Amino acid sequence: MMGPAHSLSGAAAWLGVGAAAYGAGSPMPWPVLVSGALICAGAALAPDLDHKAATISRAFGPLSRWLCEVVDALSHAAYKATKMRGDSHRSGGHRTLTHTWLWAVLVGGGMSLLAMEGGRWAVLGILFVHMVLAIEGLLWRAARVSSDVLVWLLGAASAWILAQTMDQPGNGANWLFGEPGQEYLWLGLPIMLGALVHDIGDALTVSGCPILWPIPIGRKRWYALGTPKPMRFRAGSWVELKVLMPAFMLLGGIGALGALGYI
Ligand SMILES: [Zn+2]
């Protein structure tokens, strides 16, 4: 899928988690619901850091372009090192290492640790990166015609405001993990979820997605998981724009109502 559909699906997924959390007796304070939905929308763009034309690879100027080259090389190396006889030959790393459950868990876990141990600046940094991505993803067309600097300023401002809000007692720093010292431990959850939702979105498209790596399936370790072939669609096709994106909006709206206890 393309950036906007990925971001919308990420936001909808977190709002759905909000509804589930409400049902399970750990309702999210509204700042957690809002920040989590935006973080998840941003994180749902992150796996495409292995592709230089992707939104995330262009979102932070030369820094993200450089990171993209590193991630692409790393992914390609991981592919070559672990491929089995059934896996085909590949010339680049796109849709490999960063498109797996293991990557999602490692990145989410890493961000949780960073947020918990790194203090205020780490939380602000994580929020900033994901706010910029969420703006790029959700306001796609509007963000593209404006300048990068404007998007960064907007990202920084929203990161600051959200952190200020969540730092207030009962507003979310301690959501789900309530022990002292566990502030913002939950921050990795929307990041992990965003990456997983991205993978599922790609699995619906023509090429599929090797989500299960490194668990081998038959003679392939990079088995491209997906829906039955005739049901798959091309990234950016009408199915994505006219069916899936409105569906994500609707589901997200229902999730938000559920998360706040209105239904
Ligand atoms: Zn992708």
Residue 63: the pLDDT is 94
Number of domains in the chain: 1
User: Cβ(134)–Cβ(152) under 8 Å?
Assistant: no
Gap from CA of 51 to ligand 1 centroid (Å): 8
Provide the residue range defining the domain that includes 74.
Answer: 3-259
Residue type, 3: G
Q: Six-digit token pair at 140?
A: 């796609």
174 alpha carbon – ligand 1 mean position (Å): 32
Residue 156: count other Cβ atoms within 10 Å of its Cβ: 15
Contact 10, 108 (CB under 8 A): no
What is the pLDDT, as a whole number, of residue 143? 57
Question: What pLDDT is stored for residue 185 in this prediction?
Answer: 94
Ligand 1 geometric centre to CA of 47 (Å): 6
Going from the Cα of 93 to the center of ligand 1, the distance in angstroms, rounded, reads 11
**From the CA of 95, how far away is ligand 1's center (Å)?**
6
Span from the CA of 213 to the centroid of ligand 1 (angstroms): 15
pLDDT at 142: 61
Q: Indicate the pTM of the whole model.
A: 0.94
Cα–Cα distance measured from residue 135 to residue 144, given in angstroms and rounded to the nearest whole number: 10
CA dist 18 → 1, 43, 59, 75 (Å): 24, 17, 28, 33
Asked whether 44 and 185 are in contact (CB, 8 A), the reply is no
Query: Rounded to a whole number, what is the distance in angstroms from the first to the last CA of the chain?
Result: 31
Q: If you average pLDDT over residues 126-151, what whole number do you get?
A: 84
Phi and psi dihedrals of 57, rounded to 5?
-70, -15
As given in the structure block, the two tokens for residue 182 are 């566990």
pLDDT range class, residue 189, cuts 50, 70, 90: very high
Which whole number is the average pLDDT over 198-214?
91
| pLDDT classification of 159: cutoffs 50, 70, 90 | very high
